Amino acid sequence: MNILFVGDIVGKAGRAILYARLVSLKQAYNIDFTIVNGENIAHGKGMTLKLYEELLSNGVDAITLGNHAYSKSDILAFIQKSKHLVRPLNMHPQTHGKGIQEFEVKGKTIRVINLIGSVFMDNVVETPFEAMYQLERFNKDKIVIVDLHAEATSEKMAFAYQFKDQCAAVLGTHTHVQTADERIIDGCAFISDVGMTGPFNSVIGRDIQEVLDRFNGNFSKRFTVSEEPAQLCAVVITIDEQSMRSTQIQRIQIRPEKELNNEH
């Protein structure tokens, strides 16, 4: 079984490259199930009903979120009844939506869990470690995929070593920069960060000049999403259906054509 996980989709440019590439990626890697992190999809922050439905109609099966899960209040109207949205289980407020969703694929249960890191992150109710300890008995006999939405690579890596036996994959998101440390740890696929699907010429998705202004002392400007062409960052995880353990993780990074032509 092959699972595609696409990293943080940022704004219009991120959506455009996802929709342009998803069908061919699914064919090329023989994908059975597609997860995307969508917490930055609505102009850099949050999710709307329109974009949620657009993702599903384009062939996405599950959508994880993060610290911006509730940045658009629109989500409160549909997250409760959504079967495809997964919000960080250990993040305040815990009253809206679910931190775990299960899906039946090829006779197996894929259990998608979204957790938020406790280092440098806000609104954390309990650490991802504390949250995961409580789930152990429910994770049995399932293909457990964790999106650990976190800032610190050390926290994500430590989590993977701690919970490798109950997870088929621990995939980091949030930093928007793809790391080159993908590996299989005793049957658990791991990467510190899948990376961003969003504007290539940007500062983690934001307009470059606005970020420069902020770092040079002008705090009056609000950041907007860059309109530049996007890159797509993802991983493909191959899972042995008998053991329900991962055997391979492949990193994907597609840059805009203009940038590829400039490479030496």
* Alpha helices, H only, the chain: 11-28, 49-57, 128-133, 153-163, 208-215, 257-262
Among 11, 38, 66, 128, binds Fe ion (CB under 5 A): 66
Q: Determine if 67 is a binding residue for Fe ion (CB under 5 A).
A: yes
Beta carbon nearer to Fe ion, 138 or 223: 223
CB nearer to Fe ion: give 168 or 196: 196
Cβ 142 to Fe ion, closest distance in Å?
Answer: 26
Q: Interface mask (CB under 5 A) for Fe ion, residues 85-124, using x and -?
A: ----------------------------------------
174 binds Fe ion, rule: CB under 5 A: yes
Q: Which of 43, 68, 96, 264 is catalytic?
A: 68
What distance in Å separates the CA atoms of residue 36 and residue 222, rounded to the nearest whole number?
A: 26
Give the nearest residue (CB) to Fe ion.
66
Interatomic CA distance for residues 254 and 106, integer angstroms: 29
Number of residues that bind Fe ion (CB under 5 A): 3
Contact 254/231 with Cβ under 8 angstroms? yes
Q: How far is the CB of 117 from Fe ion (least distance, A)?
A: 10
**Peptide bond just before 93 cis, omega within 30 deg:** yes
If one asks whether residue 246 binds Fe ion (CB under 5 A), the answer comes out as no
Q: How far is the CB of 260 from Fe ion (least distance, A)?
A: 27
Under 8 Å between Cβ of 239 and 3: yes
Pick the closer one to Fe ion by CB: 1 or 69. Answer: 69
Piece in contact with Fe ion (CB under 5 A), picked from 28-36, 84-92, 174-182, 198-206: 174-182
Task: Identify which of residues 68 and 164 has a Cβ nearer to Fe ion in the complex.
Answer: 68
Residues 6 or more apart whose CB falls under 8 angstroms from that of 228 comprise 13, 199, 200, 201, 202, 256
Provide the minimum distance between the beta carbon of 174 and Fe ion in the complex, in angstroms, as a whole number.
4
CB of 149 to Fe ion, least distance (A): 6
Which own/partner contact pairs does 190-194 have at CB distance under 8 Å and 24+ positions apart?
Answer: 190/157, 190/160, 190/164, 190/249, 191/235, 191/249, 191/251, 192/153, 192/156, 192/157, 193/7, 193/153, 193/156, 194/5, 194/6, 194/7, 194/8, 194/37, 194/233, 194/234, 194/235
Confirm or reject binding of residue 245 to Fe ion (CB under 5 A). Answer: no
Nearer to Fe ion, 172 or 256 (CB): 172
Give the separation between CA 58 and CA 123, rounded to whole angstroms.
32
**Catalytic: 43?**
no
The residues annotated as belonging to the active site are 68
**Where on the chain is the footprint of Fe ion (CB under 5 A)?**
66-67, 174
